[in-house]
Amino acid sequence: MFFPLKTKQPTEPSLPQVVRRASCPRCRSEVPESAKACGTCGFSLSLCEAIFPFEAPPLSLIVDPSRVVPPGIEKHLARPYKALRKRIPQVDICFCFVQLQHGYSVEEFAFWLFNTAPGADHSRAWSLLVTVDLLSGQLSLTSGYALEPFLVPESWEASLQELAACVGDGQWNEGLAGFLRDSRDLLSSACYVARRHAQAHQYAQSEAPGTSEDFQEVTSPVRPSCIPPEQKEHDQPAKEPITTGA
């Protein structure tokens, strides 16, 4: 069953809310990479596995368990996806579209999927997952631990909101291709910072991804390791509950 997102109407200023995940998907506290559970709220992967007692699908460019994405869309995305991988071969990206039942958190779902999807162990550290809950209209950006410190959430917000708006309008090709193009530049910046950081700390070069081009086009200052405290807006107008008939 396909459920349409809100459409991009001129009189409807509220875009789907972009959910940021800095560390703990539940309480946003910073959690050490090695910690088994959040020290503040107790959230953990095993708790997540109890919430989502399914077998996670493997990560791929499009993860679409509910079959809501128009078939054959990968063909339309081949060019921007190839361009992204060519620029930054080590970083992979995937999109997951789901319809979560009321009360389930897209951030927790994304955390669960990212960490339990089979077959991605070696690449997960540098992977990026964009999860879209088509029912709530919320998005979550999840990245591997190696990449996360170098992603600046504010830099991604406009691209995520544009993606959400396009998906809401049913413009899947435009939204996803545009996001892939944006990601190429944003990830280039992130990887540039990551590589500089690795060099500064004399890590093995293989720890940090390079890009296939010089970084001369990267002009925007990127601040590493300064993910700001969550600025969740509590004053959003209450939305009409969505009924699906399901």
Which residues contact Zn ion by CB under 5 A?
24, 26-27, 29, 38, 40-41, 43
- The three-point CA angle 148-138-156 to 5° equals 40
State phi, psi for 143 to the nearest 5 degrees.
Answer: -130, 160
Contact 128, 143 (CB under 8 A): yes
- Give the integer Cα–Cα distance in Å for 141 and 94: 10
Identify which of residues 22 and 27 has a Cβ nearer to Zn ion in the complex: 27
The DSSP symbol for 19 reads E
CB of 105 to Zn ion, least distance (A): 12
Contact 189, 220 (CB under 8 A): yes
Sign of CA dihedral 126, 99, 153, 6: positive
Identify which of residues 35 and 158 has a Cβ nearer to Zn ion in the complex: 35
Identify which of residues 157 and 230 has a Cβ nearer to Zn ion in the complex: 230
- Give the integer Cα–Cα distance in Å for 224 and 204: 19
CB of 101 to Zn ion, least distance (A): 22
Identify which of residues 48 and 96 has a Cβ nearer to Zn ion in the complex: 48
CB of 19 to Zn ion, least distance (A): 15
Identify which of residues 106 and 198 has a Cβ nearer to Zn ion in the complex: 106
